[in-house]
Copies of this chain bind each other. A is one copy, B any other.
Amino acid sequence: MSNSPNIEKLIEQLRILPGVGPKTAQRMAFHVLAQHRRSKAKHLAQTLEMAVQTVRHCDSCRNYCESTLCHICASPDRDPSTLCIIESPQDVWAIEQTASFKGHYFVLHGRLSPLDGIGPQDIGLDQLIKRMSTTSVQELIIATNSTVEGEATAHYIAQQAQPLNIPCSRIAHGVPMGGELEYLDGNTLSYALQARVQLDTDHVDQR
Q: Which residues of A contact B (CB under 8 A)?
A: 1-7, 9-10, 13-14, 16-19, 24, 26-35, 37-38, 40-55, 63-66, 70-72, 88-90, 93, 96-97, 109
What separation, in Å, do the CA atoms of A174 and B55 have in the docked complex?
54
Report the nearest B residue to A33, measured CB to CB. Answer: B55
What separation, in Å, do the CA atoms of A41 and B50 have in the docked complex?
11
Contact B7 A32 (CB under 8 A): no
Chain copies in complex: 2
A52-B33 contact, Cβ under 8 Å, with A65-B3, A96-B1: yes
What separation, in Å, do the CA atoms of A70 and B65 have in the docked complex?
45
Complex interface: chain B residues within 8 A of A54 (CB): 4, 6
What separation, in Å, do the CA atoms of A109 and B36 have in the docked complex?
11
Secondary structure dominating the interface of A: helix
Report the nearest B residue to A43, measured CB to CB. Answer: B13
Contact B66 A51 (CB under 8 A): no
Q: List 10 A-B contacts (CB under 8 A).
A: A3-B71, A5-B66, A6-B55, A7-B51, A16-B32, A17-B32, A18-B28, A27-B90, A29-B51, A30-B64
* Contact for A19 among B24, B32, B41, CB less than 8 A: B24
Report the nearest B residue to A12, measured CB to CB. Answer: B47
Complex interface: chain B residues within 8 A of A17 (CB): 17, 28, 31-32
Min CB distance A78 to B, Å, is 12
Min CB distance A153 to B, Å, is 17
* Contact for A93 among B1, B33, B38, CB less than 8 A: B1
Contact B44 A13 (CB under 8 A): yes
Contact B48 A41 (CB under 8 A): yes
Complex interface: chain B residues within 8 A of A43 (CB): 13
* Contact for A10 among B5, B28, B32, B47, CB less than 8 A: B47
